[in-house]
Amino acid sequence: MSKHFPKQDTAYHKDPRQYDRTRGLPDGVQEAIVAHLLAKIGVGDAMLDLGAGSGRFAIPLAERGARVFAADLSAEMLRHLLGKCAQKSACPLLVQADAMRLPFRSAAFGSAFSVHTLHLVENLTTAIKEIERVLKNGGFFALGYIEHEADSPIGWVLENWRRALAARGYDLSRPMWRRHSQIVAALRQKFGPPHIVIAAQWQGVISPAEALRSAAERLFTPYWGLPDEEHVAIIAELERAATEFFGNLNAPLQDTRRFVWHFFEIHRREA
């Protein structure tokens, strides 16, 4: 029996600028991610960015001529995106929307993609049904996530955070804590096996102490949602375990990061 948990607000309301400060990608990485997406789905048909956030991908796609709709639950994030567009050659069309109730007609898009968002939706099955509904038959849905090595500081902290939650009886399939592999499995069940592309790989450098600090400060969504007292207790547990695993917590370590696209082709059985 998993612990009761109140419904969470997963929209980024607070500080869209902080999002850009903390989620920057090295030179060339964003371009490679966008190029792999365009190579697979082209720019001809309307494209949906589900959970577009600050437009990390929707803006460069619009600049390359894609007719991209940037949908996000957060009006603040969309306003921030619009502000950034002022210095750009093109802007996506902005739509405030919940992934579980998309305000688009059926088969409106030739393709859709979503980066670091489907772990946030309240009901993954409902969101996947909506994705299928708004896509044309023969279209593509692309899921994008950054992956870390399991023994890198970021990968280790995230995995051990989830283990600590599970040990306390929390349900890891709920929003924010849901694993990337669970999202891929749900999409695979609906659409069949994906075509997987590693769009970019790069090296970061981070100490275990910094990775723990970003968890303690709840910088990333997997660290949202837990009452403060329990959050602090788990971070203290992780600090002890990290000292055993890494030794010196302040020593900077290499962290290999990969941006992976999972492309799912939509084959709907028409009624």
Ligand X SMILES: C[S@@+](CC[C@H](N)C(=O)[O-])C[C@H]1O[C@@H](n2cnc3c(N)ncnc32)[C@H](O)[C@@H]1O
74 binds ligand X per the rule CB under 6 A: yes
User: Which residues, listed in sequence order, are joined to residue 258 by a DSSP beta bridge?
Assistant: 147, 201
Q: How far is the CB of 145 from ligand X (least distance, A)?
A: 9
Q: How far is the CB of 96 from ligand X (least distance, A)?
A: 9
Contact yes or no for 200/258 (Cβ under 8 A): yes
30 binds ligand X per the rule CB under 6 A: no
Tell how many helices (H) and how many strands (E) occur in the chain: 9, 7
- 178 vs 212, beta carbon nearer ligand X: 178
Q: Convert residues 214-243 into a mask of x (bound to ligand X by CB under 6 A) and - (unbound).
A: -------x----------------------
Contact yes or no for 265/192 (Cβ under 8 A): yes
Element (H, E) at 17: helix 16-22
Residues 4-23, interacting with ligand X (CB under 6 A): 10-12, 23
What angle (nearest 5°) sits at the alpha carbon of residue 190, between those of residues 185 and 192?
Answer: 75
Distance of CA 159 to the CA centre of its chain: 16
- 121 vs 135, beta carbon nearer ligand X: 121
130 binds ligand X per the rule CB under 6 A: no
133: nearest Cα among 93, 96, 104: 104
Q: How far is the CB of 247 from ligand X (least distance, A)?
A: 31
Q: Convert residues 85-104 into a mask of x (bound to ligand X by CB under 6 A) and - (unbound).
A: -------------xx-----
- 139 vs 175, beta carbon nearer ligand X: 175
Q: Map 232-248 to HEC letters.
A: HHHHHHHHHHHHHHHCC
What CA–CA distances, in Å, run from 203 to 51, 68, 145, 147, 152?
Answer: 26, 30, 16, 12, 11
For ligand X, the nearest residue by Cβ is 53
115 binds ligand X per the rule CB under 6 A: yes
53 binds ligand X per the rule CB under 6 A: yes
120 binds ligand X per the rule CB under 6 A: yes
Q: Which of 61, 70, 73, 81 binds ligand X (CB under 6 A)?
A: 73
49: nearest Cα among 134, 137, 147: 134
Q: How far is the CB of 254 from ligand X (least distance, A)?
A: 23
- 121 vs 242, beta carbon nearer ligand X: 121
Which stretch, 60-68, 109-117, 158-166, 190-198, contacts ligand X (CB under 6 A)? 109-117
* Integer Cα distance of 251 and 240 in angstroms: 16
Contact yes or no for 175/10 (Cβ under 8 A): yes
- 7 vs 240, beta carbon nearer ligand X: 7
* Integer Cα distance of 42 and 171 in angstroms: 39
In the chain the first and final C-alpha atoms are separated, in Å, by 39
Binding-residue total with ligand X (CB under 6 A): 20
- 10 vs 253, beta carbon nearer ligand X: 10
- The residue ranges that bind ligand X (CB under 6 A) are 10-12, 23, 51-53, 56, 72-74, 77, 98-99, 115-117, 120-121, 221
